[in-house]
């Protein structure tokens, strides 16, 4: 940080990204230098006895030694300078760019000498005596060089930034013009995904996603390695701030309990752990055969085999199954995971387009409900639906005027409603089961779509209920989210990333990332190396103090600036943290998680579990509390933020919580 400038343009790399690649290349070059030195000592005198091509062999050997020596020395200098200074201290690394330019220019003589080596080894124009050592070494060196040149070209393609020349062509480029050009570039990238252009809403979705990505990341001058280093630093900073706030008794810890009777004492009867676990199993089933193979890589095919229908496309269909394959593998996965019979799966659409998500309609006799089960994100198309996260007007009966919602999910919910209306499946279902209730459920993206679809159809089914698992943040405006608390039961686990992921939290995260990078006093290679150690061994106490230019980290609570930097830097940070949301954010309205939220957290038992696993390890235990949507507005870097979003982990937590209800209460402390 900032981005590397080379040959008149910016690249998606920084001057401090060359330490580890450079050390690896130095290691390889030195090995080849030693091998070639030995080859020259053994073979150089033999070149005078060559019948033809002796001059070419001598030129190749001498030139190759010279090039390897020069490049190894140059790489050592590049690595030395790349390792200097903190992440934002570019002056200490001012010589990296000219040195790297020389290194790139040396590719041309390398190619020439490699052509000479290829000409010697792989043609018959050179007639010299064979040597059991030199010839294999030169063959390996020539092949290695071609591979290395190919990897170099691939690396340059990966770090190529098509917008790298924007700031260099016109220093007075206005923000609007830059936004237009960045958005156009993102759209061109998306159009390479030709299989998505056939989707009905492709152009509109591409426009929304391109505008969002342009608005969020334009002008930050961050490269991918900066984000990785920043996430490591933010985890360290958050841990230190938490410890300091606890020491000064400024951190109010939420009250959790494992007693379901206390938690659900004032809740409606349909909000319970038993029903939550049941509908979680149905939500998992919507992931179909892919989830079965994910859980049982070796035996998944055998588990699905008895539920498949061979050559189903040539047989009469007993259920309305849309866009499944010839063996109905998706339907087989749903039947295996849900334990429902085929007759109970009334409708299943596995069509997956942009903003069109697979879903099933099933008759759940255990709860006497017709259940709409919507799948979560599982494809690149689903990811585009997630990223189209700007706010848009959402109109439904019962919502206050001007309510806003996640734009991609609004489109997805309307597409689902259109499919339900065209198939008349709900009318048919309630004709078959007139006394059943309507329930919607889903995980992740499916949870968000369940909420919005429920709002659209609730005037016709006023008693419907929604079980939403790991609902994404940034779903509904605040007043609309409050209304959903009447019929939506949201369950989330631990540090789930998606429950805190929205346009607003991403922009706050970006700003915190920039401030944290400025406050760090270690070089990037040290930060990355420390991050590997943190993953394996945890964060040592000494690192909580030594990473920062200024030791005071108190003050990064919501609405305040972290006091990690010197006062001049804070003035710039205040500009980044503009309080006017409409001025600094792509989405002018803050969106929240929907429903009444039950948050589940792991906890440690004060007493060791005597009845734990056979190997003597402690059981994983959980507790819960009612949370507010405002609790999930800040994005934090935590070790389990991705794992806690996985559906199997949430299902496991609900199962363990149910098992804990019959146990005696113990002295507990929050992790």
pLDDT range class, residue 198, cuts 50, 70, 90: low
Evaluate if residue 354 carries a pLDDT over 70.
yes
The alpha-helical segments, DSSP class H, found in 339-444 are 380-387, 407-423, 425-432
Question: Which tokens belong to 119?
Answer: 């000409």
Q: Residue 3: phi, psi to the nearest 5?
A: -65, 150
Q: Is the pLDDT of residue 313 over 80?
A: no
Tell how strand 596-605 and strand 668-670 pair up: antiparallel
Query: Which is it for strands 437-443 and 488-493: parallel, antiparallel or unpaired?
Result: unpaired
Contacts of 384 (CB under 8 A, 6+ apart): 196, 205, 206, 209, 354, 355, 408
For residues 141 and 147, give the distance between their C-alpha atoms in angstroms, rounded to a whole number: 10
| pLDDT at residue number 165 | 55
Report the chain's terminal Cα–Cα distance, integer Å: 35
Determine contact, residues 324/307, Cβ cutoff 8 Å: no
384-416 tens-digit pLDDT: 888 888 889 999 999 999 999 999 999 999 999
560: which residues sit within 8 A by CB, 6+ positions away? none
Q: 374's torsion region: left (phi>0), alpha (psi -120 to 50) or beta?
A: beta
Q: What pLDDT score was predicted for residue 547?
A: 80
Q: What percent of the chain has pLDDT over 70?
A: 81
C-alpha to C-alpha distances, 471 to 109, 310, 376, nearest whole angstrom: 57, 37, 10
pLDDT in tens, 515-553: 888 889 899 999 999 999 988 888 888 888 778 776 554
pLDDT the model gives residue 588? 67
Alpha helices in 520-598 (DSSP H): 524-537, 543-546, 567-576, 581-584
Q: What is the DSSP string of 17-83?
A: S-HHHHHHHHHHHHHHHHHHHHHHHHHGGGGGG-SB-HHHHHHHHHHHHHHHHHHHHHHHHHHHHHT
448-488 per-position pLDDT tens digit: 999 999 999 999 999 999 999 999 999 999 999 999 999 99
Give 356's DSSP letter: B
Look up residue 569 and give its two tokens.
């830097």
The tokens describing 38, both together, are 């030995």
Q: Residue ranges of the alpha helices (H) in 192-312?
A: 202-217, 224-247, 260-263, 273-285, 288-295, 300-305
Does residue 7 contact residue 101 with C-beta atoms inside 8 Å? yes
- Label residue 295 exposed, middle or buried (CB < 10 Å: 0-12, 13-18, 19+): middle
Q: Provide the 10 A C-beta neighbour count for residue 153.
A: 11
Confidence label for 503 from pLDDT (cuts 50, 70 and 90) = confident
Asked if 56 contacts 126 with a C-beta cutoff of 8 angstroms, the reply is: yes
Tell me the domain boundaries of the chain. 3-158, 224-251+503-584
Note whether 244 and 553 are within 8 A (CB): yes
Mean pLDDT of the 624-647 span: 92
Q: Which tens digits make up the pLDDT trace of 250-307?
A: 777 788 999 999 999 999 999 999 999 999 999 999 999 999 999 998 999 999 988 8
From residue 276, how far is each of 259, 449, 488 by CA, in Å? 16, 18, 12
Say if residue 350's pLDDT is above 80.
Answer: yes
Mean pLDDT along residues 575-579: 43
Of 130-139, 572-581, 607-616, 642-651, highest mean pLDDT:
642-651
Helices (H) and strands (E) in the chain, counts: 25, 14
Pairwise CA distance, residues 591 & 472, whole Å = 10
Mean pLDDT of 101-114: 93
DSSP result, 156-187:
HHHTB-TTTTHHHH-TT--HHHHHHHHHHHHH
3-state secondary structure of 657: helix
- Indicate if the pLDDT at residue 142 is higher than 50: yes
Q: DSSP labels for 559-624?
A: TS----S-HHHHHHHHHHT-S-HHHH-SSSS--B--SEEEEEEEEEESS--TT--TT-PPPPEEEE
230-239, 378-387, 460-469: which is most confident: 460-469
């Amino acid at each position: 940080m900032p981005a590397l400038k080379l040959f008149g343009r910016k690249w998606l790399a920084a001057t401090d990204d060359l330490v580890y690649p450079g050390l690896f290349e130095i290691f390889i070059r030195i090995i080849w230098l030693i091998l070639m030195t030995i080859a020259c000592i053994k073979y150089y005198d033999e070149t005078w006895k060559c019948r033809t091509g002796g001059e070419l062999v001598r030129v190749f050997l001498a030139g190759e030694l010279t090039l390897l020596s020069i490049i190894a020395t140059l790489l050592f200098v590049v690595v030395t300078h790349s390792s200097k200074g903190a992440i934002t201290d570019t002056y200490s690394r001012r010589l990296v760019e000219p040195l790297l330019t020389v290194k790139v220019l040396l590719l041309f003589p390398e190619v020439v000498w490699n052509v000479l080596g290829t000409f010697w080894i792989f043609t018959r124009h050179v007639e010299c005596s064979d040597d059991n050592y030199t010839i294999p070494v030169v063959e390996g060196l020539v092949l290695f060089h071609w591979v290395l040149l190919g990897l170099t070209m691939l690396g340059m393609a990966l770090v190529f930034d098509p917008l790298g020349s924007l700031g260099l062509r016109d220093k007075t480029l206005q923000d609007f013009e830059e936004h237009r050009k960045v958005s156009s570039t993102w759209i061109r990238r998306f159009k390479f995904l030709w299989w998505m252009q056939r989707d009905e809403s492709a152009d509109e979705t591409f426009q929304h996603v391109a505008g969002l990505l342009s608005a969020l990341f334009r002008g930050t001058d961050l490269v991918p390695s900066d984000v990785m280093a920043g996430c490591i630093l933010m985890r360290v900073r958050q841990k230190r701030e938490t410890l300091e706030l606890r020491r000064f008794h400024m951190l109010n810890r939420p009250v959790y309990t494992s007693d379901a009777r206390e938690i659900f004492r004032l809740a409606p009867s349909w909000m319970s752990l038993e029903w939550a676990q049941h509908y979680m199993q149905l939500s998992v089933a919507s992931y179909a055969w892919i989830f079965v193979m994910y859980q049982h890589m070796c035996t998944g095919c055998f588990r699905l085999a008895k539920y498949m229908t061979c050559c189903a496309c040539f047989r009469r269909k007993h259920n309305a199954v849309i866009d499944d394959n010839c063996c109905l593998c998706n339907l087989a996965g749903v039947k295996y995971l849900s334990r429902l019979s085929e007759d109970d799966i009334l409708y299943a659409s596995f069509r997956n387009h942009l903003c069109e998500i697979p879903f099933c309609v099933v008759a759940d006799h255990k709860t006497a409900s017709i259940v709409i089960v919507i799948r979560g994100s599982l494809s690149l198309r689903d990811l585009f639906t997630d990223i189209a996260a700007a706010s848009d007007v959402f109109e439904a009966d019962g919502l206050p005027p001007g309510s806003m919602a996640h734009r991609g999910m609004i489109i997805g919910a309307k597409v689902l409603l259109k499919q339900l209306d065209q198939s008349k499946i709900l009318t048919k279902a309630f004709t078959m089961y007139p006394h059943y209730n309507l329930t919607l459920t889903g995980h992740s993206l499916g949870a968000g779509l369940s909420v919005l679809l429920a709002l659209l159809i609730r005037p016709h089914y006023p008693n419907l209920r929604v079980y939403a698992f790991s609902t994404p943040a940034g779903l509904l405006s605040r007043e609309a989210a409050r209304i959903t608390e009447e019929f939506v039961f949201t369950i989330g686990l631990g540090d789930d990333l998606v429950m805190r992921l929205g346009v607003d939290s991403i922009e706050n995260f970006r700003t915190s990332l920039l401030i944290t990078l400025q406050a760090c006093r270690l070089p990037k290679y040290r930060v990355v190396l420390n991050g590997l150690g943190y993953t394996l061994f945890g964060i040592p106490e000494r690192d909580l103090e030594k990473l920062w230019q200024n030791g005071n980290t108190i003050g990064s609570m919501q609405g305040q600036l972290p006091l990690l930097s010197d006062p001049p830097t804070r003035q710039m940070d205040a500009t980044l943290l503009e309080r006017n949301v409409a001025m600094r954010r792509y989405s002018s309205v803050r969106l929240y998680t929907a429903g009444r939220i039950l948050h589940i957290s792991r906890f440690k038992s004060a007493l060791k579990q005597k009845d734990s696993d056979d190997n003597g390890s402690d059981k994983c235990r959980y507790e819960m509390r009612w949370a507010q949507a405002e609790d999930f507005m800040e994005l934090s870097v935590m070790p389990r933020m991705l794992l806690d979003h996985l559906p199997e982990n949430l299902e496991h937590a609900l199962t363990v919580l149910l098992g804990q209800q019959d146990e005696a209460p113990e002295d507990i402390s929050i992790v």
